[in-house]
Amino acid sequence: MNAWVAPLLKPEPVALMVLIILLGSFIQGMRRGASGSAKHLFFFIWQAVSVVIALVLAGRGASRLSPVIRDWLEARNIIVPQEELSAAKELWYTVVTSLRDFELLRFGALFLVLYSLVRYLLRLLEPLCYMLYDALMQPAKHADQVTRRGRPSAYGRLSGTASRTTGALIGALLGGGRAFLVIAVLFVYVTLAPHALGADAIRSSAIYAKTAAELLDPVAGDVLKRGPVITDAVQAEFRRVLQRKYEVIDAAVPANIEAAAAEVTKQSDNDEAKARALYDWIGTRIAYDWDKANNYVEHGVWKEQTPTETFDTRKGVCIDVARLYAVMARSVGLDVRVVTGLGATGNGSYGPHAWNEVRLASSGAWIPLDATWASSGDWFNPAGFSSTHIRET
């Protein structure tokens, strides 16, 4: 017991929070008495069991349904129309194609739906739990009523001070459960985001460290220890969804851009020649918009820009150039994608950047190119491209 009390008495935020929870539950238990505290403990345990059941069923259900949903969506052969879409249709095609193509997103969506459904169904059982609790406590309630009429009983002796003492002990037990849940939430937070705000302060807590080492680590196993990897995967999936949004928005190619792309590539007789011609054209005609970049870096103001605006104004930042290249390349039959990640800044560091990759039909290979950097050299599939461009994975 002393091994747990000593860390709890150290003056730091996590220990203070645990003490407040324990003290509050102790006082509530004393006020409710034995029967009231027992009732709260019963339904606290029921809620905890419900959450565990919902998590297990949702996880297993999502794992089994995910490939079924993927196959069903693939069978629908959903193709984004090459026309101007309303905001609602853009959202629809982004969501549907993302669910079809992105496994982690599909699993997460199914998990949330199934978890919510199971929790709802379990809540429907709560009246039965009340009936069960009342049935179990009926003898005690009867004994309490007998005591009030002046005939003492075994349970009646818990009235008054004894009832409040028993309630306080049950309340302390309930507080321990609540404190454990709070530390478990902190454990998940620190594990999934080890460098997040407050993570170091949480890890430095003696009571947190002891609970994590002796109770949470053995239960979590390797699942949460892979937390940073899982977090990176979620972030990468989210970026892919954002990229899919651009693909849906940019599916419609304006007639003037399509005509320009056709004119630029009319002398090209293969995919690589077309890709190179578009790289040269965009790289020499689209100026980098330093005002837009500085406005974002210095003031956090970002101006969303369509490929049409980039084409008309002849300026944009890397994502604008990459999106325009993708639209023009797609209009002449090239398989192209926008790639986001980090680009070398020239001073030994890296910053957010975007470029393109084009698939050559003759070999099936994807070749990288960076039309934004065209003014500083030849960035059409050069050797060592990956040393200056780190794609998000």
Sole residue written with tokens 């059409």: 380
- Are the beta carbons of 282 and 321 closer than 8 angstroms? yes
Q: Does the pLDDT of residue 312 top 70, yes or no?
A: yes
Q: What is the pLDDT of residues 259-274, one digit of tens each?
A: 999 999 999 999 999 9
Helix/strand/coil for 77? coil
Q: What is the largest CA-CA distance in the chain?
A: 107
As a whole number, mean pLDDT of residues 245-250 equals: 73
181-214: burial string, b at 16+ Cβ within 10 Å, e else? ebbbebbebbbbeeeeeebeebeebebbebbbee
- Are the beta carbons of 163 and 34 closer than 8 angstroms? yes
As a whole number, mean pLDDT of residues 156-162 equals: 59
The confidence score (pLDDT) of residue 159 equals 56
The confidence score (pLDDT) of residue 15 equals 84
Q: What is the pLDDT of residues 362-373, one digit of tens each?
A: 889 999 999 999
Structure tokens at 161: 């001070």
SS3 content of the chain, % helix, strand, coil (to 5): 70, 10, 20
Would you say the pTM of this structure is higher than 0.95?
A: no
Q: Does the pLDDT of residue 148 top 60, yes or no?
A: no
Alpha-carbon gap, residue 315 to 9, rounded angstroms: 62
Instruction: Work out the percent of the chain whose per-residue pLDDT is above 90.
Output: 25
What is the strand order of the sheet 366-369 is part of? 366-369, 350-359, 335-344, 389-391
- Domains in the chain and their CATH numbers? 2-231 (no CATH), 253-391 (3.10.620.30)
The confidence score (pLDDT) of residue 149 equals 47
Tell me the pLDDT band of 137, cut-offs 50, 70 and 90.
low
Amino acid at the residue 301: V
Average pLDDT over all residues of the chain? 81
The confidence score (pLDDT) of residue 317 equals 93
User: Which among 32, 38, 41, 31 has a CA at the least distance from the CA of 140?
Assistant: 38
Q: Does the pLDDT of residue 216 top 80, yes or no?
A: no
Instruction: Work out the percent of the chain whose per-residue pLDDT is above 70.
Output: 83
Tell me the pLDDT band of 188, cut-offs 50, 70 and 90.
confident
Asked which of 6-10, 45-49, 324-328 is least confident by mean pLDDT, the reply is: 6-10
